[in-house]
């Protein structure tokens, strides 16, 4: 049986990590990326992955293309699986770009932060749109051309990658996709793509923008007593919005959604329990002090953030559903100021949100 032709559009931290492991396992993978130095490094030295243990580290020769070379795909076998790992604001043009090279049965997989399936479907149709949630213990960073590090360990206890159809049924193509994804990390199918998506959005919404606005890495953010209050409020608001939308939410950072809501509503026992759980997650091998959410990485590199597609999206959906998400709206405004260079990233930016 011919191996499916896989093209990953966006060979950054997530896309590069996926592509390196798939290639290492023998899958037919081509990487496409707009950063010339990164593409050249993958071609000449391969793509190096460093994990939190020697067993998680490898260097893989990669088939990589500059964005300007994508048209050469017309000379090759059509693409069966196009994995999008670009920023949310690049979703539409990236989908248009790769759609013309899909095989008749080819489809596009969103392996992105935020909820982008509707944008993809607007280009290729719902029948060619698939979602892949990249899990909560999957923290990676492209720190130099051709080099990615993972800052949270593989634990094998939960599925790090979950793939699902937009209609919720398990199909042969989803089962085949998950089999490919198991070469990267633990993976499973889901019949609850939208609930899984929103649950991960809750996690991103309580972490990414906070680190971007404060300049704090993951551990420092969660150990900061005042900033941790903001994290909890963001999670609880996002859970309330998701439920108002009728979604079946799953654990948020391995914690029952109800606990986040109770803590947001200032129930003392819930606040104390959450504090203990969050602080425990920052200790030992649970998370490296090098860990920085993607939006904090963007601020550090002077790049545009996904704040409008994350916290801004949660606030907008909440307004439409009649459920206020004021902390998300405020954080969106603050991160825009930091992104524009009008504010310096520091914890004091969010102190007013703890009141």
For residue 241 the two structure tokens come to: 């919005």
- According to the model, what pLDDT value does residue 4 have? 97
Q: What is the DSSP secondary structure assignment for residue 78, as one 8-state letter?
A: P
As a whole number of angstroms, the distance between CA 296 and CA 209 comes to: 7
Same domain, 110 and 200: no
pLDDT (0 to 100) of residue 55: 82
CATH number reported for the structural domain that contains residue 339 in this entry: 1.10.1040.10
pLDDT computed for residue 154 by the predictor: 79
Do 139 and 240 lie in a common domain?
A: no
- Class of residue 269 by CB neighbours under 10 A (exposed 0-12, middle 13-18, buried 19+): exposed
CA-based end-to-end distance of the chain:
61
Positive or negative: CA dihedral 262, 265, 269, 270? positive
Q: Which residue has the tokens 């213990």?
A: 137
Per the structure, the complete domain to which residue 240 belongs is given by 196-354
Residue-level pLDDT, tens digit, the chain, 355 residues: 689 999 999 999 999 999 999 999 999 999 999 999 999 999 999 999 998 888 889 999 999 999 999 999 999 999 999 999 999 999 999 999 999 999 999 999 999 999 999 999 999 999 999 999 998 678 889 999 999 999 887 766 677 899 999 999 999 999 999 999 999 999 999 999 999 999 999 999 999 999 999 999 888 999 999 999 999 999 999 999 999 999 999 999 889 999 999 999 999 999 999 999 999 887 755 555 667 788 988 998 899 999 999 999 999 999 999 999 999 999 999 999 999 999 999 999 999 998 7
Q: Which of 191, 220, 248 is the last residue of a domain?
A: 191
Q: Per the structure block, which two tokens stand in for 314?
A: 């949660």
Residue with tokens 């939190």, as numbered in its chain: 52
Give the pLDDT of residue 138. 83
Joined tokens for residue 69: 């070379």
Domain end point (choices 158, 191, 224): 191
Q: Are residues 168 and 212 in the same domain?
A: no
Question: CA 330, 235, 303 angle in degrees (round to 5)?
Answer: 55
- Let me know whether 57 and 108 are in one domain: yes
Q: Dihedral of CA 215/219/220/223: which sign? A: positive
Last residue of a domain, one of 191, 216, 251: 191
> Taking the complete model, does pTM exceed 0.85, yes or no?
yes
Q: Give the Cβ contact number of residue 303 at 10 Å.
A: 13
Q: Are both 66 and 127 inside the same structural domain? A: yes
- Residue 25's Cβ-side half-sphere holds a number of Cα atoms within 13 Å equal to 17
Residues 299 and 187 in one domain: no
- What Cα–Cα distance (Å) separates residue 296 from each residue in 45, 81, 138, 256, 342? 28, 30, 16, 26, 16
257 and 346 in a common domain: yes
Q: Domain holding 83: CATH number? A: 3.40.50.720
Helix axes 268-281, 257-264, angle to 10 degrees: 120
> Do 235 and 141 lie in a common domain?
no
Confidence (pLDDT) at 322: 97
What are the beta bridge partners of residue 108? Answer: 82, 129
Do residues 157 and 206 both lie within one domain?
Answer: no
* 237 and 327 belong to one structural domain: yes
Number of domains in the chain: 2
Q: Are residues 79 and 185 in the same domain?
A: yes
- Cα dihedral sign, 263-269-272-275: negative
Contact by Cβ (8 Å): 146, 41: yes
Distance of CA 215 to the CA centre of its chain: 19
Q: What whole-number distance in Å separates Cα of residue 70 and Cα of residue 95?
A: 13
Task: Examine the domain organization and report whether 134 and 259 are in the same domain.
Answer: no
């Amino acid at each position: 049986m011919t191996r499916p032709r896989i093209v990953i559009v966006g060979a950054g931290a997530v896309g590069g990590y996926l592509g390196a492991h798939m290639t290492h396992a023998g899958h037919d993978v081509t990487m496409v990326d707009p950063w010339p130095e990164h593409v050249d490094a993958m071609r000449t030295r391969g793509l190096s992955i460093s994990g939190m243990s020697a067993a998680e580290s490898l260097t893989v020769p990669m088939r990589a293309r500059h964005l300007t070379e994508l048209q050469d795909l017309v000379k090759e076998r059509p693409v069966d699986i196009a994995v999008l790992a670009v920023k949310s604001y690049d979703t539409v043009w990236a989908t248009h770009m790769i759609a013309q090279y899909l095989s008749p049965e080819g489809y596009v997989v969103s392996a992105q932060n935020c909820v982008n399936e509707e944008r993809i479907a607007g280009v290729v149709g719902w029948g060619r749109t698939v979602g892949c949630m990249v899990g909560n213990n999957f923290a990676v960073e492209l720190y130099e051309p051709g080099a990615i590090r993972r800052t949270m360990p593989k634990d094998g206890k939960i599925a790090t990658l979950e793939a699902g159809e937009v209609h919720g049924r398990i199909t042969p193509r989803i089962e085949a996709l998950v089999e490919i994804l198991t070469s990267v990390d633990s993976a499973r199918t889901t019949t609850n793509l939208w609930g899984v998506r929103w649950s991960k959005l809750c996690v991103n919404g309580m972490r990414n923008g906070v680190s971007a606005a404060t300049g704090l890495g993951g551990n420092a953010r969660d150990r900061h007593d005042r900033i941790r209050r903001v994290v909890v409020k963001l999670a609880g608001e996002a859970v309330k919005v998701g439920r108002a939308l009728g979604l079946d939410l799953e654990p948020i950072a391995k914690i029952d959604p109800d606990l986040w809501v109770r803590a947001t509503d200032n129930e003392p026992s819930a606040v104390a329990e959450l504090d203990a759980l969050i602080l425990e997650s920052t200790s030992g091998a649970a998370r490296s002090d090098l860990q920085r959410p993607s939006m904090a990485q963007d601020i550090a590199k002077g790049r545009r953030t996904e704040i409008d597609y994350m916290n801004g999206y949660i606030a907008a959906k909440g307004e439409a559903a009649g459920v206020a998400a004021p902390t998300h709206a405020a954080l969106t405004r603050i991160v825009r100021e930091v992104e524009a260079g009008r504010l310096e990233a520091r914890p004091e930016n969010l102190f007013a949100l703890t009141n």
